[in-house]
Amino acid sequence: MTAKIVVVGSFNADLVSYMERMPRPGETVHGDRFATGAGGKGSNQAVAAARLGADVTFIGRVGNDVFANLAYEIWDAEGVDHRFVTRDDEVATGVAPILVDSSGENMIVVVLGANRRIRKRDIDAARPRIAEADMMVVQLEVNLEIVPYALKSAKEYGVTTILNPAPAAAIAAETIQLADYLTPNETELETLSGGPVADVVAAARGLLTRGDQTAVVTLGAEGARIVTPEETHFVPTFAVDAVDTTGAGDTFNAALAVGLSEGMALPEAVRFANAAAALCVTKPGAADSVPARADVDALLAPF
C-alpha cells in the first residue's frame, strides 16, 4: 500500500561549509569544502517520504529567486507534488548557512524568508489532497500561527498528524493537543517543557493531554523512546560512522510517517525511522543524504 502523506513546512537553500572544527566566537577557521543543496525541514521530510516510497504533497512558500530552483529540481526528481507551493514575489527563499565539523555535528542559522509567509489559503487550496491523506507532518520552521491551522485541517478529515517541534520553539498546549504523534529531540523537549529535563518520560508525558497521543523522543545516536500516557518503550538505533547529521531528524520523521501509514506497528515504524536516519548521517547534505527504501530495508533485514 502506498502511503499518502502531506507535509506542511519549509524549504531552505542550504549553504554548507565542512571544517575540522567549528570556529569559536570571533575566530576564523579554514573550511575544507563548500556545498549548496536543497534543505529546509519540511522539504527534507517531503523528499525523504517520497524516496521511501510515499505519494507526497508539499505545502509551502519559496521566493521568486534562483534558490527556489533547487527546490523544484529535487521535488521534480523525487516526484513530490508541489502544486500547492506558492512563489512569493516579495520575499526571498529561505536560506540556511550550515557548519559541519569532522565528527558530523552541525550548527545552523535559518533565515526563514518566504517560509514565514505560509497563508491559510495555501492550506485551504490543498484540502482535497489533505482529505485523502493518511498522514500530515508539520514542523515549526514556518510562521507559527499556521501550525495549528494546518493540523486542524488534517483532523477535520480524520487524518493522523505528526508534529515535529523543530526547530525548538515554545508553542501552545492547544497546538500540541492537535498532534497524534509529537516527535521532539531532547533540546526541543526542554523548550516545550519550559526547563531542563531530568526524566525524559515524565517530561514527554507532561506534554500529552489526550489519552491517545504518543510522543516519540529522538535521542540522537542512541535511538528513540516511545512515550504514551501509560507505557514507554526504548528503540535502539544502528551504529554507523557519522559524516553529517544534517537532515537526520527530518528523515526520521518522514520514515515514521511512511511506516505508520503503511500499517507498521509503532515500535516497528520507529525502528524503520531509526534505520533511515542512521543511513542519512553516513552521507553529506540534507535532502541529498536521504537513503533509498531498498537501503533501509536492507539494513533492517540484512540476511
> Does residue 288 bind ligand RIB (CB under 6 A)?
no
Choose the binding region for ligand RIB from 61-69, 116-124, 234-242, 247-255 (rule: CB under 6 A): 247-255
Q: What angle, rounded to 10 degrees, do the helices at 186-193 and 200-207 form?
A: 50
Q: From the list 5, 8, 14, 175, which residue makes contact with ligand RIB (rule: CB under 6 A)?
A: 14
Choose the binding region for ligand RIB from 21-29, 34-42, 130-138, 273-281 (rule: CB under 6 A): 34-42
59 to 88: interface string for ligand RIB, x by CB under 6 A: ------------------------------
> Does residue 290 bind ligand RIB (CB under 6 A)?
no
> Does residue 96 bind ligand RIB (CB under 6 A)?
yes
Q: Which helix (H) or strand (E) holds 294?
A: helix 293-300
Q: What is the dihedral of CA 213, 217, 218, 222, to 10 degrees?
A: -130
Cα end-to-end span (Å), the chain: 24
E strand map for the chain: 4-8, 12-18, 33-39, 55-63, 85-88, 94-100, 106-108, 135-139, 160-164, 181-182, 214-218, 223-227, 232-236
**Stated length of the chain:** 303
Q: Active-site residue among 55, 180, 244, 250?
A: 250
Interatomic CA distance for residues 22 and 14, integer angstroms: 17
154-213: contacts with ligand RIB (CB under 6 A): none
Choose the binding region for ligand RIB from 58-66, 72-80, 122-130, 246-254 (rule: CB under 6 A): 246-254
> Does the annotation count 101 as an active-site position?
no
List active site positions. 250
List residues near ligand RIB by CB under 6 A.
12, 14, 39-41, 44, 96, 108, 110, 141, 246-247, 249-250, 286
